[in-house]
């Protein structure tokens, strides 16, 4: 009888330790992925519901014509639009070679005091490519035009 009770206790201990280890693993995965997940927003979505200044996210759209301003050093300012709204962007760094006005772009960064402060800028890689998120945002605003093939 004492042997059965000891086996039951041992089983309960093993199951408890395994459950605690599983919970700890899930918590560590959650915390690890929390910084790595960047949600995409169009300029219209950013202006409708501005994210917290601490939230890192991706914004995408077209670089507005005549908005590109080069500042001191590697600082660049421009506007990104989805046809329905426009957000000012500031970026310090080297822009991709294919970055230009009226072209699709996706930037990663934070929205602080009405300006998107980008830490990374991605541009299209050929004359027909545009990120899916940007195409979807432009279609939602009714301004997307299918490129000629």
Over the stretch 45-90, which tens digit does the pLDDT of each residue have?
999 999 889 888 999 888 999 998 987 788 999 999 988 899 999 9
Q: Would you say 122 and 106 are in contact if contact means Cβ atoms under 8 Å apart?
A: yes
**Domain count for the chain:** 2
Considering the domain architecture, whether residues 10 and 81 belong to the same structural domain is answered as no
Q: Which domain holds residue 12?
A: 1-37
3-state secondary structure of 62: strand
Task: Give the pLDDT confidence of 88-103 residue by residue, as tens digits.
Answer: 999 999 888 888 888 8
- Which residue(s) pair with 86 in the sheet? 81
Token couple for 18: 């395994």
Torsion angles phi and psi, residue 19, rounded to 5: -65, -40
Select the more confidently predicted residue: 110 or 102.
110
Considering the domain architecture, whether residues 27 and 97 belong to the same structural domain is answered as no
Instruction: Give the global pTM.
Output: 0.64
Task: Give percent above pLDDT 90 in the chain.
Answer: 33
Q: Would you say 82 and 112 are in contact if contact means Cβ atoms under 8 Å apart?
A: no
147 occurs within a structural domain = no
Q: Which residue has the tokens 């041992």?
A: 10
Select the more confidently predicted residue: 89 or 33.
89
Question: Would strands 104-112 and 57-63 be described as parallel, antiparallel, or unpaired?
Answer: antiparallel
Considering the domain architecture, whether residues 29 and 52 belong to the same structural domain is answered as no
């Amino acid at each position: 009888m004492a042997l059965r009770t000891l086996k039951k206790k041992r089983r309960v201990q093993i199951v408890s330790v395994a459950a605690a280890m599983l919970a700890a693993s899930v918590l560590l995965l959650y915390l690890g992925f929390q910084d790595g997940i960047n949600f995409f927003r169009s300029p219209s979505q950013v202006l409708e519901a501005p994210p917290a200044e601490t939230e890192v996210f991706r914004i995408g759209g077209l670089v507005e014509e005549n908005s590109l301003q080069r500042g001191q050093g590697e600082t660049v300012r421009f506007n990104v639009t989805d046809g329905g709204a426009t957000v000012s962007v500031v970026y310090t760094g080297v822009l991709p070679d294919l970055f230009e006005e009226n072209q699709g772009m996706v930037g990663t960064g934070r929205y602080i005091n009405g300006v998107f402060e980008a830490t990374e800028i991605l541009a299209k890689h050929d004359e027909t490519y545009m990120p899916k998120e940007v195409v979807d945002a432009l279609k939602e605003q009714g301004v997307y035009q299918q490129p000629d093939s």
